[in-house]
Amino acid sequence: MNTIEFPFELGTDYEDWELDLEILPDRVLHYDSYIYVGKDVKFFLNNITYNPELVYNLDVLEAVILTFNMSTASFKKMNTELTKRGSKVFVEVKNNTELHHYSLESLYVCSCKGSDGLHLVYSSNYPIHTSLLSSLI
C-alpha cells in the first residue's frame, strides 16, 4: 500500500501557517476555521486544491477541507486512487451529496460530490470529521 501525501500535516501548530491564513466563520463549536491564502499551490493526488480550509483546536491542526475544480471523470479517478491506497470504500448519498468514505493511515477521509462542488475532508478525529461533513451537506 502506497502512502498518500496530504498537503497539510495534521497536528501541526497554528504558528506554522499563521501568516498564510485568514479567519473564517467557525463551522464547528470550539474549533477555529481558516482559509489558506499562501502563495504555494497545494496539490492532492496531482489535483490542484482551491481555498483549503484548515480547522484548529487549541492551535493544533485537527482537520482539513480541500476543494477542487475538476471534472466528474477526474473525481472518479481520485476516488479510484484512494481505493487502491487505502481500505475498502463505503459510498453513500445524503442530501444529494455523494460521499466516499475511506480509512487511511489512521485518518478518516471522505470525498464529497455535491451541488456546491467537490471536496475532500481528512482528520484523525472522528467527531470533528463527521461534524465537518455535516456542514458540507
Q: Where do the domains of the chain lie, and which CATH numbers do they carry?
A: 14-136 (3.40.1000)
Report the pLDDT value the prediction gives residue 78, as an integer from 0 to 100: 92
1-36: pLDDT as tens digits = 567 889 999 999 999 999 999 999 999 999 999 999
Cα separation, 113 vs 98, whole angstroms: 5
Say what the pLDDT of residue 2 is.
62
Report pLDDT for 86: 75
Chain centre distance of CA 68: 10
Q: Count CA atoms within 13 Å of residue 74 on its CB side.
A: 13
What is the distance of C-alpha 2 from the center of its chain?
Answer: 19
Per-residue pLDDT reduced to its tens digit, 30-89? 999 999 999 998 999 989 999 999 999 999 999 999 999 988 899 999 999 998 887 778
